[in-house]
Structure 1
Amino acid sequence: MGKRKRLSEPGAQNTLLPQKKHYRQRAHANPFSDHSLDYPASPQELDWNEHYPAFMGTGKTPEFADIGCGFGGLLISLAPLFPETLMLGMEIRVQVSQYVQDRIAALRTTSATPSSLAPSPYQNVSIVRANAMKFLPNFFPKHSLTALFFLFPDPHFKSRKHKARIISPTLLAEYAYVLRPGGIIYTITDVRDLHEWMKSHLEAFPLFESVSEDTLREQGLGQILDAVYTSTEEGKKVERNGGDKWLACFKRIEPTRNVVTS
């Protein structure tokens, strides 16, 4: 009989992790369709302990949200780098969201260190199947997030489908609501037209101001930017094909108020 692998061995982790080939799904889903979704009436009805049991009793809620998280590459990359920060992925596709859920469960098991008092890696990351275009405020209270990620979103090339793009004036109002002042929106795409669209709409919105990549790196956010560029399946595909990536980041600001003097 062959020798059984221990969880600490690399080969054992590979056999426990879910395989994408078992989670086939179309590349995109229509955000305007009536998907069968469960969502809370308000953020106060959510029990985050179910998503982050290792942080039970801390009162912590998610601070990073990856909208349309796909196969979870960003979340998995950032989780060990910010172990005290709760992160949530939102994905509308059934099979893809199930893959990420199974992936997180497997990583929590294979990365556990019983002798350590600290939570094992990946306890701070979770996912919900949700339509962020419709129900984002149902999950996050006002000013609760420090980072919102929109990585390689569906470009919806046809003009009549631009209303389905994840960045729009109406949706930006919701993003400003859940993002606290000083929080950052990260966008990246390999489609130049979509990059210009997202950038122009964010520039026109009064509660966001552009912040350069150099500035963010000077502020110690280089690890996040590196993950934004390289951690997702889409980002890796662009690299393999020798394509361009267009990054645009914006900071949530407080509105300027005109002071009337007599």
Structure 2
Amino acid sequence: MTDSHDPQAPAEATPKMRTIKSFVMRAGRMTEGQQRGLDQGWSKFGLELEQGAPDFDAVFGRSAPRTFEIGFGMGHSLLEMAAAAPDQDFIGVEVHSPGVGGLLNGLLTQNLTNVRVYRCDALEVLRNCIADNSLDRLMLFFPDPWHKARHHKRRIVQAAFAELVRQKLKVGGVLHMATDWEPYAEYMLEVMNAAPGYQNLAADGHYVPRPEERPTTKFERRGERLGHGVWDLKFQRSA
């Protein structure tokens, strides 16, 4: 569901991540609703990387708690969260046009105004469009685990990713990740436990119970029926 580069920069510096893409562009047919979303919704909710860092208080017309989601897929969960929290603002990033169109169509249909959308590499958006110390939450749900060892360098969760996110979160802000691949959950935990400036919010120092604010997706429900687990991690910026 996500997109990224392979981050390798030291924690002390602003991360400069190599241009290896961790997502695979997939062609997909657009439904009528998805095309309507792009045609009618992009001018209202879409943001462009080339515009640089916007004043999000001006963009949303208010100052409110702000969440950034990397890779919102088809947009169902982000749409549900935005509808359930009208007092919060959401910035979603996705590279696949059908998912972007689906989210935009949902925003139009439900008359929601608290979401803005980028259609590009999420890490480019974080680096170039999001001010330091400005996010209350960053969500990364079900990223590609890149199962083969030779592809682990493409995983979005790396030391430099953790540092980049830490810079963008407010002190007290939370990085919330979820995966249905246990080896990746263990890897995420290892990376984040080693990352400076974070506190694991799990009582046992491992994983948190599924938070109520994260909607259960159709994909997740299907996995549950097949006996698959899901692991949620929450790390709070402490410094």
Band the TM-score falls in, shorter-chain normalisation: 0.7 to 0.9
Higher relative contact order (CA 8 A, sep 6+): 2
Displacement of 1:63 after TM fit?
A: 0.8
Could you say if the C-alpha distance between residues 138 and 28 of structure 1 is closer, same or farther in structure 2, counting changes exceeding 3 Å? closer
Q: 2:156 aligns with which of 157, 166, 187?
A: 166
Aligned to 1:125: 115
Please show how residues 68-83 of structure 1 align to structure 2 within 5 Å: 68-83=71-86
Q: 2:49 aligns with which of 28, 39, 44?
A: 39
Q: 1:184 aligns with which of 167, 174, 194?
A: 174
Aligned to 2:234: 249
Provide the C-alpha distance between the structure 2 equivalents of 1:184 and 1:44, rounded to a whole number of angstroms.
Answer: 22
Displacement of 1:130 after TM fit?
A: 2.1
- Report Cα offsets for 1:185-230 as digits up to 9, x if no partner: 1111110110011111011001111112699xxxxxx9x91232x4
Q: Name the SS of the counterpart of 1:227 in structure 2.
A: coil
Displacement of 1:179 after TM fit?
A: 0.5
Q: Name the SS of the counterpart of 1:65 in structure 2.
A: strand
Aligned to 2:196: 206
- Report Cα offsets for 1:58-77 as digits up to 9, x if no partner: 3x377101111112233222
TM-score (norm 2): 0.72
RMSD, matched Cα: 3.1
Please show how residues 142-153 of structure 1 align to structure 2 within 5 Å: 142-153=132-143
Whether 1:225 and 2:211 are equivalent positions in the alignment is yes
TM-score (norm 1): 0.66
Displacement of 1:97 after TM fit?
A: 1.4
Provide the C-alpha distance between the structure 2 equivalents of 1:250 and 1:30, rounded to a whole number of angstroms.
Answer: 20
- Report Cα offsets for 1:105-136 as digits up to 9, x if no partner: 1221xxxxxxxxxxxxx221232212113331
Q: Residues 104 and 126 of structure 1 are in contact (CA less than 8 Å); yes or no, is this contact kept in structure 2?
A: no
Q: Residues 144 and 155 of structure 2 are in contact (CA less than 8 Å); yes or no, is this contact kept in structure 1?
A: yes
Aligned to 2:98: 95
Could you say if the C-alpha distance between residues 251 and 30 of structure 1 is closer, same or farther in structure 2, counting changes exceeding 3 Å? closer
Report the identity percentage: 24
Q: 2:165 aligns with which of 166, 175, 178?
A: 175
Could you say if the C-alpha distance between residues 139 and 238 of structure 1 is closer, same or farther in structure 2, counting changes exceeding 3 Å? farther
Count of matched residue pairs: 200
- Partner amino acid for 1:81? A
Q: Residues 3 and 71 of structure 2 are in contact (CA less than 8 Å); yes or no, is this contact kept in structure 1?
A: no
Larger radius of gyration: 1
Q: 1:196 aligns with which of 186, 198, 201?
A: 186
